[in-house]
Structure 1
Amino acid sequence: MPATTLFADDVFIPVGGETAIPFGEILPWALFGTLLALIFLYFVSTEQGAVSLFSGKYVHELVHDGRHLLGFPCH
């Protein structure tokens, strides 16, 4: 099937045609996304516990409801 084009509001949007994204272009974004997910998981699950990067209860109170929503006990 030949690729067609759609013109909407003077913006060229290619429609159709199948091109694969090379693995080398996806890998950095996949690693970045995984790193962000692990950092988020650390702050929601572990921060302000036995291993803590920040003193005080600020991070705990910030992610408190998220902990309960995800099933992590905190008190």
Structure 2
Amino acid sequence: MSQAIPAPASPEIAVPTIPLGQIAPWALFFGLLAVIALFFVSADQGAISIPAGNAVHEWVHDGRHLLGFPCH
């Protein structure tokens, strides 16, 4: 009879914890950036664009249709 060879012990992995106070500013920053990007893709028609005219509208035109936003 052969004896079973025990499996090697798996090493313990320490999971780092990040305080909420360090994550919150970055989450707010990227959330605001996402809302601004969503505005330019979905709602901006050139009336309040930083570059005057339809420049932003034309840059995001295909993305607007891809996401299902009507623009014309």
Both structures adopt the same fold (TM-score exceeding 0.5): yes
Aligned partner of 2:48: which letter?
Answer: S
Say how many residue pairs are matched. Answer: 62
2:31 matches 1:34: yes
Describe the superposition over 1:8-48 as per-residue Cα deviations: whole angstroms up to 9, x where unpaired.
xxxxxxxx311211100100110011010011011001111
Q: Larger % of strand: which?
A: 1
For structure 1, the residue ranges without an aligned partner over 5 or more in a row are 4-15
The alpha carbon displacement at 1:2 in A equals: 6.1
TM-score by length of 2: 0.73
Give me the CA root mean square deviation: 1.8
Paired residues of 1:46 and 1:52 also in contact (CA < 8 A): no
Separation in structure 2 between the aligned mates of residue 19 and residue 64 of structure 1, nearest angstrom: 43
TM-score by length of 1: 0.71
- 1:1-75 equivalent positions in 2, closer than 5 A: 16-48=13-45, 51-53=47-49, 54-75=51-72
State the identity %.
60
Paired residues of 1:48 and 1:60 also in contact (CA < 8 A): yes
Paired residues of 1:45 and 1:72 also in contact (CA < 8 A): yes
- Number of the residue aligned with 1:12: none
